[in-house]
Amino acid sequence: MDKTQIPALFGNAVFGDREMRRRLPKELYRRLHGCIETGVELDAELAGAVACAMKEWAVENGATHYTHWFQPLTGTTAEKHDSFISPDGDGGVIMELRGKELIRGEPDASSFPSGGIRATFEARGYTVWDVTSPAFLYDNGGTRTLCIPTAFCAYTGEALDEKTPLLRAMEAVSRQAVRVLRLFGDTETRRVIPSVGAEQEYFIVDEATYKRRKDLIFTGRTLFGAMPPKGQEMEDHYFGAIKERVAAFMREVDLELWRLGIPAKTEHNEAAPAQHELASVHTTANVASDQNMLVMNVMKKVARRHNLVCLLHEKPFAGVNGSGKHDNFSLQTDGGRNLLDPGRDPQANTEFLLFLTAVLKAVDEYAPLLRLSAATPGNDHRLGGDEAPPAILSVFLGDQLTAVVEHIIRGSDEQVPSFSEMSVGVSTLPHIRRDATDRNRTSPFAFTGNKFEFRMVPSTACIADANTVLCTIVAESLCEFADELEQQEDPAAAVPALLQRELTAHQRIIFNGNGYTEDWIAEAERRGLPNIRTMVDAIPAYLSQDTTALFARHGVYTAKELAARADVAWEQYAKVINIEALTMIDMAGKEILPAVVRWTGEVARAANAVAEAGADASAQKELLERTCILLRQATRALSELQEKQSRITKLSGAARAAACRDEILPAMTVLRAPMDLLEGICDAGVWPVPGYDELLFNV
């Protein structure tokens, strides 16, 4: 495609502002834009006009069906397609989309995870159009469908999705941020908008190779696999030249995402072989969440066209880095001002310091909730593995801001240098303006210039959950600040004392060092910072009194919704581990061990033949003995895993999840150990599944 065509291509599959302005009468466009800006509900007349214009646009572009596209508690998206056709009364049909069909849909709510909010015989649920997230056309299998982003709730009104709580939390942080801004004399700002940019990591493998691995097909990760002679130790893959097949895949992904109005910006090789990353430009949090779900869908779809498979699991291969998703978070006023931008002199930027302090306070006080928002079974394999942030929440501020914080705590007026220039010692190269802070890749929550980067988020996750928590806990800090300052005769004069008190109280959350070391784990314990190692350990945060009170104060979750999410989390954890255990049992019992037994027979026959010929068969016998020892270990481990898997099926809820963590996962580890050793000594032609060498280097 000619580069001059890209601006015209961008967003041409989106019913966004450009199409709304073109197709709606000026007055109706103005009213719709007002609803988007202020959150006011659409009336019937406006909804009908928008529905008609949206349908005409979709039909002109080849769509015959529409769907309410939503994000249930499954970690994926969901959709139910309806055609535009309606009987015309004369035996024919017309193409129409009515306002009430645009605004509200009615999927079966009993078949989605609800944590007990809905019984299986209570089916009614509603999808409701999120007017702030534009509709789009999605191509799949030669069909084109109009997708209308929606929230999803039960008949009784509880949220059954990821989006509804996020929209509530966005309103909560906006309310509290505006209160604080009024104290600084800002009378213009009406809304504060959480802005988010997601960096998506993933692996690309050959499709034919993938299809020979049941573990990748059923679980998304390899349950067996010995490391090849080369992994990532040469550090040559990171930012390396992109292979031709992958470059072609990336190019097509870019084009599809640009058509969908998703500003895919940066792509590169990541640290592990076959690992890559894609990052998009920041946008409003709920739109960013929708777009990231589309990014994952598009990458998986496009990969298949290139005879590739996109793996999104947090740890698809043992022994090399896993994948995460960096969630870049900031707060923007409706006038475009970034409230987390320190400016040239952060020490004198009181507004920035107050919002910075609010974030530090939020992360310190609600670290278990943030850890929970990043909890998946796959992320347990990644966090704290010298490749990803530890499971301990801390905040990296860098030298300059840390010095500012320390000066505030001490009450010092000493000036902190803002930036400097450096020379790299080559006369033809310009001097470089050195940033006020370095970057820290080991920090789970790092300040990176004018935003915070939450680096714990799982690569498979919907980012809505993490941003729901971020918005809510920051809203709580800002609410406390506003409550206090609004009581003062001179709020501005009271800010320094507030900053000094709060920064002193929450200084423990600041850590600029290496988060991978054992020393930091010990230091974090001394500071009283929680180290929540697994998803099962994190889930109870849903049910604490502090959590219930926090979300109730800001109207984000009810106690019933929180309890439901805890039940869903325990159930999903147990299901994931159970599927992995069953897959491991299947592969070991039906594929790998039978192949090893056959090969062992060949080795035994070879040893006998050598001995009968009067030659020295000690090498064959030694190989046979080593193989038989590992075979016995694997057989015993397989039996133990089968017994434990069968026994825990009688459990449910938290008890089953804990048993999966404490019994099933260790049993899987015990089984894997001899199997991986067997892979290293068996004939490669006998081993029934592709090894890591094929998976990681055969693209």
Of 28-32, 219-223, 386-390, 424-428, which gets the smallest average pLDDT?
A: 424-428
Instruction: List, as one string, the DSSP characters of 89-121.
Output: SSS-EEE---HHHHHEE--BSTTS--TTSS-TT
Q: Which amino acid is at 175?
A: R
Angle between helices 491-506 and 398-410 (to 10 degrees): 110
Q: Is the pLDDT of residue 419 over 80?
A: no
Higher local confidence (pLDDT), 247 or 416:
247
Give the mean model confidence (pLDDT) for residues 259-276. Answer: 92
pLDDT digits (tens, 9 = 90+) for 593-634: 999 999 999 988 988 988 888 888 888 889 999 999 999 999
Query: Which domains can be identified in the chain, with CATH numbers?
Result: 3-160 (3.10.20.70), 169-418+434-557 (3.30.590.10), 573-697 (1.20.120.1560)
Share of the chain above pLDDT 90, in %: 71
Q: According to the model, what pLDDT value does residue 111 have?
A: 84
Give the mean model confidence (pLDDT) for residues 628-653. Answer: 96
pLDDT digits (tens, 9 = 90+) for 85-139: 888 677 776 788 888 888 888 887 788 888 888 776 777 889 999 999 999 999 9
DSSP count for the chain of H helices, then E strands: 24, 20
Q: According to the model, what pLDDT value does residue 587 have?
A: 97
Give the mean model confidence (pLDDT) for residues 71-77. Answer: 92
Higher local confidence (pLDDT), 87 or 591:
591
Contact indicator for 560, 586 with CB cutoff of 8 Å: no
Q: Find the distance separating the first CA and the last CA of the chain, reported in whole Å.
A: 24
Region at 386 (left for phi over 0; alpha for psi -120 to 50; beta for the rest): left
Tokens 């996109």 appear where?
310
CA distance 556 to 158: 11
Q: Is the pLDDT of residue 344 over 80?
A: yes
Q: What predicted TM-score, i.e. pTM, was given to this entire model?
A: 0.94
Q: Tokens standing for 320?
A: 């090399």
Give the mean model confidence (pLDDT) for residues 155-164. Answer: 92
Q: According to the model, what pLDDT value does residue 257 have?
A: 96
Of 100-109, 115-124, 324-333, 489-498, which gets the smallest average pLDDT?
A: 115-124
pLDDT digits (tens, 9 = 90+) for 447-482: 998 999 999 999 999 999 999 999 999 999 999 999
Mean of per-residue pLDDT scores for the chain: 92
Q: Is the pLDDT of residue 239 over 90?
A: no
Of 476-480, 488-492, 586-590, which gets the smallest average pLDDT?
A: 488-492
Banded model confidence at residue 439, pLDDT cuts 50, 70, 90: low
CA distance 293 to 295: 5
Pairing of strands 308-311, 192-206: antiparallel
Banded model confidence at residue 484, pLDDT cuts 50, 70, 90: very high
Q: Tokens standing for 469?
A: 């928590």
pLDDT digits (tens, 9 = 90+) for 163-172: 999 999 999 9
Of 41-45, 143-147, 405-409, which gets the smallest average pLDDT?
A: 41-45
Q: According to the model, what pLDDT value does residue 263 have?
A: 93
